[in-house]
Structure formats: C-alpha cells, structure tokens
Amino acid sequence: MQEPPINPIIANPTSSGKCLVIVPAYNEAASVADVVNDLRLHLPQADVLVVDDGSTDDTHKAVPVGTPVLRLPFNLGIGGAMQAGYLYAQTHHYDLAIQVDGDGQHPADQAHKLITALVDTHADFIIGSRFLPNDTHDPNYTPPISRAAGIRAIRTVVRLLTGLSLTDCTSGFRAANRPVIDAFVTWYPDDYPEPQVIPLLHRAGFKVRETPVTMRPRAAGRTSIPFILGVFYIIKVTTAMLLDLIRDPWAPRSR
C-alpha cells in the first residue's frame, strides 16, 4: 500500500515531515473539543490524536468527529498516556510529535513556535517556556506561588545535573523529533516525565532547547498532579531524577 503524501511542516515550508499533535486528556470533556478545533484551525496540516487516559467522564465523546481517539482502559497517568501517543506516532511514521495538553493551557496558535525552534536550532527536543521573554505573554497567566517556587527548585536540580539553564522544566508543551519519539517508545517515565526526560535526553546525547510561548490557565478539569510542586512533589521529582543517574534507557544519540 502506498504511503500517504508527507505533510509540510508549517513553520518551515522548505522542509517536510509528518507532524502529529498528541493531546493527553483525563476527564477533559469540557475543554477537549475546543483544544482539537483550535489545533485544526492553527495547524491544519498536522494530524491530531487524543489519548483518553481512562477518563470517567465523556471525554472521548466530546472529541470532534474525524479526530482519532486512543482510549486507554484505565488511568495510566501522563507518562503512560504520552508513551501510548508516541507509540502511535512511531507506528504511523510521524517525523515530529507535539504534546498539547487537553485542558486548554496550551494555545494552538503557539504550537508553530515549537516547530520553528526545532527546525531553526537543529534540536531534538523543544520545550515551550512560559518564563522566557515573549511579546505575546498573557498578563492574566500567573502560576501560583507554590508552583512557581517548585519550578525554580526543579530548574536548579536540572541545571546541576545537566548544565542546561532551562526555565520551564515542568512544561508539558513540547515537541520531539523522530529519534526522540523512537527513544520514548522504548522507555518513558511514568510519574514525572516532564522534568525527568531532560537529564536522560541530555545524557543520551540529544539536544534539548527551549522557546518562549504563551500559556493560559486551564480551561476546565484539574491538574494531573493535585499537590503540584509542594515540598513533597519536589522531593519525589528530585529523587526520581537522581535515581535516573543509574538508568540507561536509551542508546546514545548517533551524530
């Protein structure tokens, strides 16, 4: 069977590649339709996959018609949901995967910035940062004090482990190229994937970078980490990253 034509990457018409937007969603029936429709509007040549992470509401029914939904039989958490999405991307031969949360925090009109940064910096993995200077910053978006303090603490740990000065290590707005997709299919952290993968990718030789994006408060639902960035969360994330120092989940990146 002949492969479908490759979609051009919107941010760079001179390059080409199949792009998949993975939308992990857990009990996001109130917001997932708007997220998908915005993605169709702003990234019309990218495909969208919703991963319903064992929702107990009607999340899968709220997804607009024509958008594939990968329904997990029970809640695996963000790590399991995203790994399922990366497996789908690998199986269907996508060259680029973008994570956009189903709660409405990641505006679809910002997704092209991730693609542009991936192409322009020749990076393997791009993190969308709400803390880098950004002309379109939403003045209404201010993370809670406890969350902001936790982000700073984890940023310090990541810098000590990698030497990378990243500002938004917990951001779920990110893009991966095909080698990273293949790596994530092999192994992906279950509990705290956003900060955990950064030292692991760095150690494996992948190039990790940030780009400024605008974010907004979640439209509905609740955070997947209810005690977000309290002292207990920081201790657990730090412990997980330290334990990862003895883990070699991926082969070194060939250059």
pLDDT tens-digit map of 213-253: 999 865 554 554 444 446 788 889 999 999 999 988 888 87
Nearest to 216 by CA among 109, 116, 133, 114: 109
CB-based contacts of 109, cutoff 8 Å, min separation 6? 38, 42
Residue type (1 letter), 166: L
Lowest mean pLDDT among 25-39, 200-214, 218-232: 218-232
Is 0.75 topped by the overall pTM? yes
Write phi, then psi, for 221 (nearest 5 degrees).
75, -165
Q: In this predicted structure, what is the pLDDT of residue 9? A: 40
CATH code linked to domain 19-246: 3.90.550.10
Region for 217 from its dihedrals, namely left if φ exceeds 0, alpha if ψ lies in -120 to 50, beta otherwise: beta
Write down the domain spans for the chain: 19-246
- Assign 196 a pLDDT band (cuts: 50, 70, 90): very high
